[in-house]
Amino acid sequence: MHIDSEQLIAAAQAARENAYAPYSDYTVGAAVLGANGTVYTGCNVENASYPASICAERVAITRAVAEGERTFLALAIVTANGGSPCGICRQVMIEFAPEMRVFIAAGDKLIRETKASALLPDSFDPSTLA
């Protein structure tokens, strides 16, 4: 399937508008493309009890899984400064889609492309428990 990184980044940027980040003031948007062609979006949602906060990437992926999608082709992550995804989000990416393309953007500008397995080498993944 053709993957339009600009379109995926735009979807992540739109989701970022909904970020609830009153504590860090660091807003994040994510958009994951499922094999069925559907794009699922997420934003970070913080909490006064800080550890109860959740990252944008995990919101997008868990939304997709809840809708029945488990195969992912690409993920766009948008922040103000092109920050890298956190370790917990990398672990969640690996669970479903180690070969997924990952676009990291600052606003609407693509900073770099990588893939989930490159972000988390030598991972503990489903094969470990098989």
Contact set with ligand THU (CB under 6 A): 21, 24, 26, 28, 44, 46, 53, 55-57, 85-86, 89
Q: What backbone phi and psi angles, to 5 degrees, belong to 25?
A: 60, 20
On whether the CB atoms of residues 127 and 91 are closer than 8 A, the answer is no
Can you tell me the distance from the alpha carbon of 65 to that of 122, in angstroms, rounded to the nearest whole number?
Answer: 24
Per DSSP bridges, beta strands 72-79 and 101-106 are: parallel
CB of 55: closest distance to ligand THU in angstroms?
Answer: 3
* 69 is an active site residue: no
Catalytic-labelled residue, pool 17, 57, 67, 113: 57
CB of 49: closest distance to ligand THU in angstroms?
Answer: 13
Task: Rank residues 28 and 94 by Cβ distance to ligand THU and give the closer one.
Answer: 28
How would you write 3-21 as a 3-class SS string?
CCHHHHHHHHHHHHCCCEC
CB of 122: closest distance to ligand THU in angstroms?
Answer: 20
Task: Rank residues 49 and 127 by Cβ distance to ligand THU and give the closer one.
Answer: 49
Task: Rank residues 33 and 78 by Cβ distance to ligand THU and give the closer one.
Answer: 78
Q: Which of 13, 36, 32, 43 is nearest to 110 (CA)?
A: 13
Any idea which residues carry the catalytic annotation?
57
